[in-house]
Structure 1
């Protein structure tokens, strides 16, 4: 058993065996540190090893490079201690009210909002409480023991409904069953089916102790958790200056365009900027084009006094982090992200 000490919070916890990661041990003790995928891929749980030795575990080189390892960086979700450790990592919370739990749920509705995106609503048991922070995600637990992670696009509500935005990944076990063309197929996911989930998970939520202006950066269905955060702000009349950039390949992928436009009326402090990456006929698209993070680079000379919440593809998030920190003066601790991973990424 080894002890881990977190700086600067100076809290300590034990890692009980050699198969437990630092992140697993921290969450077990109720200490919430930044994390996302829990698979060594997204890089959200990156921290600095001040002293001690670790087994770095299995991880993606894009999440933790050899150069970063030389600089004493580790991923909390994959690293396991080989001695007592001192680690520099932000402690988000010691609250245990949102401890993940496993629950059954019923498929309430499935709405295809584009060729490859479905809005799925899940009904939770009326006798169960499910507390979460807007922006967090759940895991759908599949029968083969695998899980699929999806951000919640809804805010906590009396109807006990959870909204998910699911993109079809051809060959994906769960999304193939959801988008099954033959609805008589035994494997197809249908309305009234019972699924199991675990959540809430993740640390992608609004930091309420800040008054800084915000940039929301989304690609594709990365708009889902940002929708939850924005609608929570509107519901509570808690407003900060916000610029929302939503990047998609084609204008037809802007499945929440009218809703995002409506947010600007309900929350005048919000500016919505859709960005299309694929070249368009200017007769049909007169808006911004290019990579979504580069639109921010063009619009801002400095992000020194702002916060960025980025959600979507791992490549977009890494590019945004690198450019914003290196060229726009964004403090590293002011960048919050949630990388959407497919089974292939893992």
Structure 2
């Protein structure tokens, strides 16, 4: 009897490891499309990344709303999201956040942006040194980073409106912040960051020191 139970439990465990894959198609605002495969255990944004399709996104935590799209066909599971980023009315009409959406069938979605906003090459990951951390207003700090020279050079090249993701030291979490300065040869990246009580990166900034090294991703 005991042996039969072990055999049945082992078979059930093996069955649980089999994941179903689904075809995902996203239509852009200008009538173009991208397609990729996503398993039922993976969110759509991560699956697209794995296929080197880098869709517009920021927080990847279901709180900013940058990765919104509308499901027009197929079923899915929507994980926990901020009601500010995705209100109930939006959810009722099929709006989802790609970072919190898990397919339960082949999906067709419509994105609110044009095809040229999608990237098909890896976003650069660099190391930067903290050059200055200054309180400039109540609850706001200026953070100045300088890129460390590598095979990509040492200049800070970006366009107005772009942002960087900064990794929280000691964690895999990243936080996205808009760049406040202009492109430059020194490799300087300037941010003005509003501190959030209990926020992961805000907590780090309270004790950040000049000379700290941070991993960054972008622009």
TM bucket (normalised to shorter chain) is: 0.7 to 0.9
In structure 2, distance between residues paired with 1:65 and 1:154: 34
Shift in Å at residue 107 of structure 1? 0.8
Aligned length, in residue pairs: 190
Greater RCO (CA < 8 Å, at least 6 residues apart): 2
2:24 maps to what in 1? 4
1:337 maps to what in 2? none
The question of whether the paired residues in 2 share the 8 Å contact of 1:110 and 1:119 is answered with yes
In structure 1, distance between residues paired with 2:126 and 2:33: 34
TM-score, structure 1 as length reference: 0.49
Superposition map of 1:274-293 within 5 A: none
Q: Secondary structure at the match of 1:77?
A: helix
In structure 1, distance between residues paired with 2:43 and 2:177: 23
1:165 maps to what in 2? 192
The question of whether the paired residues in 1 share the 8 Å contact of 2:164 and 2:216 is answered with no
Shift in Å at residue 176 of structure 1? 4.1
In structure 2, distance between residues paired with 1:168 and 1:73: 30
In structure 2, distance between residues paired with 1:120 and 1:169: 15
Task: Decide which of 95, 114, 127 is 1:73's aligned counterpart.
Answer: 95
Where does structure 2 lack aligned partners over 5 or more consecutive residues?
A: 1-20
Query: Do the aligned partners of residues 134 and 147 (structure 1) sit closer, same or farther apart at CA in structure 2, a change above 3 Å counting?
Result: same
2:145 maps to what in 1? 122
Shift in Å at residue 177 of structure 1? 4.4
Aligned CA RMSD, in angstroms, stands at 2.5
Query: Do the aligned partners of residues 4 and 173 (structure 1) sit closer, same or farther apart at CA in structure 2, a change above 3 Å counting?
Result: closer
Where does structure 1 lack aligned partners over 5 or more consecutive residues?
A: 180-187, 201-346
1:192 maps to what in 2? 211
Task: Decide which of 49, 57, 63 is 1:35's aligned counterpart.
Answer: 57
Q: Secondary structure at the match of 1:163?
A: strand
In structure 1, distance between residues paired with 2:211 and 2:116: 37
Shift in Å at residue 87 of structure 1? 0.8
